[in-house]
Amino acid sequence: MDKKATRESYGEALVMLAEKRNDLVVLDADLAAATKTGIFKKAYPDRFFDCGIAEANMMGVAAGIATTGKLVFASTFAMFAAGRAYEIVRNSIGYPHLNVKIGATHAGISVGEDGASHQCNEDIALMRTIPGMTVINPADDVEAKAAVLAMADYEGPTYMRFGRLAAPIFNDPATYKFEVGKGIQLRQGDDVTIIATGLMVAQALSAASELSDIGINADVINIHTIKPIDREIVINSAKRTGCVVTVEEHSIIGGLGSAVCEVLSESCPTRTVRIGVQDVFGHSGPAPKLLEEFGLCAENIINVVKKTLGK
Amino acid sequence: MDITIKRQLERTAVKVRLGIIEGVYNAKSGHPGGSLSIADTLTYLYFARMNLDPSDPQMPERDRLVLSKGHTAPALYSVLANRGFFPVEELKTLRHIDSRLQGHPVRGKIPGVDMSTGSLGQGVSAACGMALSGKLSNDYYRVYAILGDGEIEEGQVWEASMFAAHYQLDNLCFVVDNNGLQIDGKIKDVMSPYPIDEKFKAFGWNVVCIDGHDFDQIEKAFDNAERTLNRPTVIIQKSIKGKGVSFMEDQVSWHGTAPNEEQYNQAKAELEQQLAALS
């Protein structure tokens, strides 16, 4: 299976977008080479502005540009977009409900060697609490590009999460359709529901395939829009299987797992187990090794499912 | 400045101050001190300088103003109301449940407010974004941002200042309201931002220092800003916190306190006297 980092897809999608939107402006904070907005910068240098290492100001500048009606993307690492600039995103973008698209790359533990200071496992939790903020976490190249193009036509603040590590491309560009707020049923099964997001969707699929070999049939749901979450798809599947496992490259606190638990505890109480970063900081190492170590892999999903079902 | 126009602005500024007192008194909370110190400059901008139309607040070519020191919303509301953006009577609803006049300005709630502010240091960045956007599409509007002198202790102000100079935003003008006081005391005692002028000069800005209660100097400063090319301008105005109400002047205790009935009556009487003296 081909692989591509979703940050790369982001950079390429911005160029595709610029072809039809001449009001597109892209900001970065001295990370254009890493966030891949550099691809856009090269193609459209007049519409790219480097804000330097000053993420708070960049978010405010994005807000100001949005007040004038232009389409603006502001990019940096998830750590600085959601973490450092949180209050500016909350007060200058979220509160006035401005049409700013935040392209946050290097999310999660798969940042790898840079270590815990740059491995942001808290961004979904932070962004999800801001009223009116849409939170998107695409799973592969096809979904990432479609999401960027779709969200450009959507009016309102949006946080988009992209990864550093090359991710398997499992969606078919010919048939894939991105609908904000709509989960995607990737596989049908009655024994357990596996709800995954971002980099973990491919792992969930591969886990489900192995589980079926031992007679466990899993529903696999891709939640690319964590907020607003697709309540219907979550509840319908939980009703059918009676057991839910969530998988995310993010803290188990405040992210996909929390969002699913909120839906289920209120509308369809169901046993739910959360796979994710277990309230700890990461550390340096190659991304694939770290993902394994933190249980963010098909093997751990299989183990958790088997244990949860008592098999 | 023409003496008739100057006299008119002085009268309007007193009316603006009356509106500030009216709002804060009825709210039983709010920030009169810094509202009164910026009242003259805001009056000048909205009545003699900015390209705007109260009947068309969203006019695309309008000049923009971001009240980065958002807690002085009573001054902005009073100026907007007196300029005809909404009824002056509405100032009495300041900070009330269901009022459009929130404690700090909110974009989209009140005609004439382009940016939500209140969390200090943030409005300046939005102003930079507006100015950059104007440059990008050759729209010739000007952007003003009003900052407190305590506010410039926020690091984001200096990120924004670096940005504005780097992108040569000569359509952008900051006003630092240097009334010398912040909540915890004198700015020089709490966390001195001095020398303010040298700091902005070092950041590549055109710096103009004036008396913020002298309309001749105010006008000249904004003329200077508009003439200055390839770099942004900051007007650092010496001002008196609480200006116009004797017992509030230069008193840190009036930063965020509302007058009681007796104080309200006294403030109103003083301002009405000033108005009478100007007619």
What is the predicted ipTM? 0.97
* Chain B residues inside the 8 Å CB shell of A59: 125
Cβ separation B127–A65 shorter than 8 A: no
Specify if A218 maps to a domain.
Answer: yes
Residue A153 CA, chain-centre distance (Å), reads 19
Q: Is A19 a catalytic residue?
A: no
CB B175 within 8 A of CB B146: yes
> Do A9 and A124 belong together in one domain?
yes
* Marked catalytic residue, from A12, A55, A122, A249: A55
Q: What are phi and psi of A280, to 5 degrees?
A: -135, 165
- CB burial of A272-306 (b: ≥16 within 10 Å; e: otherwise) equals bbbbbbeeeebeeeebeebbeebbbbbebbbebbe
Specify if A201 maps to a domain.
Answer: yes
Minimum-distance CB partner of B126 among A54, A67, A70: A67
From the candidates A58, A67, A76, which should be mutated to test the interface with B, based on the most B CB atoms within 10 A? A67
Give the span between the Cα atoms of A142 and B243, in whole angstroms: 61
In tens, the pLDDT along B219-267 reads 999 999 999 999 999 999 999 999 999 999 999 999 999 999 999 999 9
> Do A164 and A188 belong together in one domain?
no
Collapsed DSSP state (helix, strand, coil) of residue B4: helix
> Do A121 and A21 belong together in one domain?
yes
pLDDT of residue A272: 98
> Do A272 and A228 belong together in one domain?
yes
Task: Delineate the domains of chain B, giving CATH numbers in brackets.
Answer: 3-277 (3.40.50.970)
> Do A40 and A81 belong together in one domain?
yes
Mind telling me how many Å the CA of B207 is from chain A's nearest CA? 21
Average pLDDT, chain B: 98
Give the span between the Cα atoms of A108 and A178, in whole angstroms: 23
Please check whether residue B129 touches A, CB under 8 A.
Answer: yes
Mark which of A168, A197, A220 sits at the end of a domain. Answer: A168
Q: What are phi and psi of A232, to 5 degrees?
A: -60, -45
CATH classification of the domain holding A207: 3.40.50.920
Specify if A311 maps to a domain.
Answer: no
Collapsed DSSP state (helix, strand, coil) of residue B230: coil
Residue span of the structural domain in which A220 resides:
184-306
Cβ separation A68–B133 shorter than 8 A: yes
CATH classification of the domain holding A65: 3.40.50.970
Specify if A151 maps to a domain.
Answer: yes
Q: Which residues of chain A have pLDDT under 70?
A: none
> Do A77 and A158 belong together in one domain?
yes
Mean pLDDT computed over B57-71? 97
The two tokens of residue B108 are 């989209």
Specify if A179 maps to a domain.
Answer: no
pLDDT of residue B279: 85
Cβ separation B125–A57 shorter than 8 A: yes
> Do A164 and A60 belong together in one domain?
yes
Specify if A174 maps to a domain.
Answer: no
> Do A134 and A264 belong together in one domain?
no
pLDDT of residue B95: 98
Specify if A21 maps to a domain.
Answer: yes
What type of residue sits at position A146? A
H helical segments located in chain B: 3-27, 32-44, 73-82, 123-136, 155-166, 187-191, 196-202, 215-227, 261-277
Q: Give me the number of domains chain A comprises.
A: 2
Minimum-distance CB partner of A56 among B108, B134, B156: B156
Closest-CA residue of chain B to A50: B163
* Percent of all residues in chain B with a pLDDT value above 90, rounded to a whole number: 100
Quick one: DSSP state of residue B231?
S
Q: pTM of the predicted model, to two decimals?
A: 0.97
pLDDT of residue B175: 98
Specify if A131 maps to a domain.
Answer: yes
> Do A194 and A160 belong together in one domain?
no
> Do A204 and A291 belong together in one domain?
yes
Cβ separation B125–A52 shorter than 8 A: no
Cβ separation B133–A25 shorter than 8 A: yes
> Do A15 and A97 belong together in one domain?
yes
From the candidates A30, A73, A92, A101, which should be mutated to test the interface with B, based on the most B CB atoms within 10 A? A92
> Do A163 and A202 belong together in one domain?
no
Mark which of A168, A201, A220 sits at the end of a domain. Answer: A168
Mind telling me how many Å the CA of B116 is from chain A's nearest CA? 6
